Amino acid sequence: MNISKFLEKSWILILLIIFIISFWVRAVGIIPDKILSYDPVFEYRYLRYLVDFGTIPVWDELGYYVGRPSGVFGPALPQEILTIFIYNLLKFFISISLITAATYSAAFFGALIPIAAFLLVREISNNNWGALLSAALIGTAPQILIRTFGASYDTDQLVLFFILVTLWLGIRVIKFKTPSSIFLATTGFFLFATMWNMFTYTLILSFAFFIFYFIFSYIHKFGIKTINFQKIKENIFYFKNEIVSLLVLFFSLFVFLILNRTNLIELIFNILGFAFAAEKLIVNISIAELQTVSLLDVSTWILSMGRIMIGNELVDIIIFSFFISMILFSLYYLYKNKKIFEFSILFTLIVFGSYTVIRGIRFTEFTSALFLSIIGIGFSYFLIFLKDEKIYKSILIGLAIFTVLISFSIAIEMGPKLGPDTDKNWNDAWEFLKKNTNELSLVGTWWDPGHMIAGLAERRNLADGAHCGNKDCLFGINDRITDTGRIFSIENETEALNLIRKYKGTSPEVYWIASSDLIGKFQWIQYFGTGCDARKEQRCPLYLQIGLQNINNSEYGSLILNYGNIKILLKDNKLIPIYIEKRNGMLFSEIIYYENEKIKSIKDIEINSTEIGKELNIKLLNQTIPYSLYLSKKAEYIVIIPPNLRNSIFTKMFFFDGEGLTNFEKVFSNEDVKIFKVKL
């Protein structure tokens, strides 16, 4: 039996194998009773409440204290309901905790994505070959896998599933124009709406399909130079059934959402606003949306097509060339064969996919699914184009199988590494807060750990990843992010205390966390807190963290710690930080380090320049770098502190253990987390 006939007769078996592999690579790294941090903790907290009480809380007073209505960013109900069903089913056969069932459910939801991809690609290409290729690649592509693995009990899995499913259902509405297709699409979009507040993305795409279909059909029938009202009217009449079907879909969905107290029109305008001016919303979904990429960069396209690469230049070029060829060929084939409907769909996916990815690196997860679907469609058409050219057909099929095997091998290697994060320093911090603070305490920090404050420490947080607008919460996401960033960035302790009082509510105690991860995130903390944009303005440099590379001794026996171009010389019981470029060296103006478990700072270090120069074989210049240098307690890394941040509250909290602050009392400390009790 040749490969073509095998695929035709065995596609269900192959799709099942793809599903099993997609599930396994997501589940292999799961650790019982452990879950990934951040959003999964939030989702699990609501799941636990739903299991314990049979409903979601009306008011969530732990998140965004003084709280928020749960419906603002409540649980993704389809996910929670399906998880509870899976949990109760598994309990019949094995002893399993809810948290473990949730992680395996996440792996299951992730394995559903290739099935949705198969349905979409087969609908467009009308065969199974390319549909199976897309399903295999989408099920294991690293850029998708990195956000849809088992320990990440988040909405990404089902959001991506619904993106592909609603695209499929939207196409069927235009294609078949039947009550059943409209009903299924309405149901699919409504379920998607309960999963993700930006579900209108695929609704807009469905309408865009039709608009491009209308335009290309007009050009095909009448030509681009014969545009007039009468011919447009004729084309509208020709497409009257498609127009009616889409309008029925829109208004049916509108009614369902109104009954669910959701404003569809507002949602559409919100996503359009985000598409053109995300910065005005500050943080709509996450900071990653503001980390834009360029379509002129090859790495952007690699990310946008799943990041299926192994580091071998030849192999990576072959795979990338294969992908680009399939995308271009799909357009060529459809255009040449005047398949206007399918051409319109692919054109829309390419245009929207390309634009989506430049709105932020976070979206490469979604665009990977779109482009890998197009690649499967192109593969199908290429096989049809080759007809009886058995040699070329075999080469093409071999190339596809090779790419799938590469994707599978990367996924199998990644899988065991994608388990839940386990960090003793953070776990100790949550345990301290849970056992040693008033249960009504408010805990503030930058927004990232907010879900863990509520879910693991079981304390009220100032802000978290579950966004809440001004009209739904007392002080919305933008106010809280701006104020939190300002508290960390400024030097004025009185102003910082006033900002904290703004959110205190009835909490008898307030605690504040300064953590090591904020060193790398300070670009956004400073940007939102002070408006100083390090990407564009030289006046606001950031912290620079550099890891230890090695330790050696000089010819004179002194110890040298090497951090790239920066060396710390231990000589005569002095730590001497020097920046070296070529053969020239310059001292830092200050070094901050631990001595006998206490922080110590030395400015204007006195040295013998000639001796130091000989010892390091450099010329020590008679000038000082006006930056401070922090040496971590175990010398694992250094942090260069610019003058504009030297006296910031974060610097005093984290690098000086609270020294210099009068209203922040350190009550807990380790290498990564320092907790302060705020005196208000």
Cβ-based neighbour number of residue 332 at 10 Å: 15
**Which residues are registered as beta bridge partners of 666?**
676
Q: What is the pLDDT of residue 390?
A: 84
Q: For residue 90, is it within any domain? A: no
Helices 340-358 and 200-222, axial angle in degrees (round to 10): 130
Q: Are residues 441 and 343 in the same domain?
A: no
Cβ-based neighbour number of residue 670 at 10 Å: 16
Q: What is the pLDDT of residue 279?
A: 45
Name the strand (E) or helix (H) holding 85: helix 77-91
* Regions of the chain short of the pLDDT cut 70: 1-8, 71-76, 260-264, 266-293, 360-361
Q: For residue 85, is it within any domain? A: no
The count of structural domains within the chain is 3
Q: For residue 276, is it within any domain? A: yes
CA 461 to chain centre: 22
The closest of 112, 136, 124, 134 to 174, measured between CA atoms, is: 124
Q: For residue 87, is it within any domain? A: no
Name the strand (E) or helix (H) holding 551: strand 550-553
Q: For residue 552, is it within any domain? A: yes
Q: For residue 82, is it within any domain? A: no
Which pair of structure tokens corresponds to residue 230?
């009468």
Q: What is the pLDDT of residue 298?
A: 85
Mention every residue, 6+ apart, whose C-beta is less than 8 A from residue 649. Answer: 487, 488, 489, 490, 491, 493, 496, 661, 664
Q: Are residues 70 and 106 in the same domain?
A: no
Q: Are residues 553 and 530 in the same domain?
A: no
Q: Are residues 274 and 327 in the same domain?
A: yes
The whole-angstrom separation of Cα 626 and Cα 631 is: 16
DSSP state of 623: E
Q: How far is CA 21 from CA 15, 110, 367, 565, in A?
A: 10, 11, 22, 46
Of the residues 388, 417, 446, which one is the last residue of a structural domain?
Answer: 417
Which pair of structure tokens corresponds to residue 151?
């320990």
The closest of 625, 660, 659, 661 to 544, measured between CA atoms, is: 625
Q: Are residues 69 and 159 in the same domain?
A: no
- Give me the CATH number covering residue 41: 3.40.50.12610
The whole-angstrom separation of Cα 387 and Cα 382 is: 9
CA 652 to chain centre: 31
The whole-angstrom separation of Cα 65 and Cα 87 is: 31
pTM above 0.75, yes or no: yes
Q: Are residues 394 and 427 in the same domain?
A: no
Question: CA 639, 640, 642 angle in degrees (round to 5)?
Answer: 135
Q: Are residues 68 and 139 in the same domain?
A: no
Q: Are residues 601 and 669 in the same domain?
A: no
Is 446 within 8 Å of 518 (Cβ atoms)? Answer: yes
Q: For residue 84, is it within any domain? A: no
The whole-angstrom separation of Cα 569 and Cα 572 is: 10
The whole-angstrom separation of Cα 389 and Cα 394 is: 9
Q: Are residues 353 and 364 in the same domain?
A: yes
Q: Are residues 576 and 507 in the same domain?
A: no
Q: Are residues 443 and 585 in the same domain?
A: no
Boundaries of domain holding 594: 544-641
Is 83 within 8 Å of 104 (Cβ atoms)? Answer: no
Q: For residue 375, is it within any domain? A: yes
Q: Are residues 126 and 154 in the same domain?
A: yes
Q: What is the pLDDT of residue 604?
A: 82
Of the residues 378, 394, 417, which one is the last residue of a structural domain?
Answer: 417
For tokens 């290729």, what's the residue?
133
The amino acid occupying position 495 is E
Q: What is the pLDDT of residue 120?
A: 97
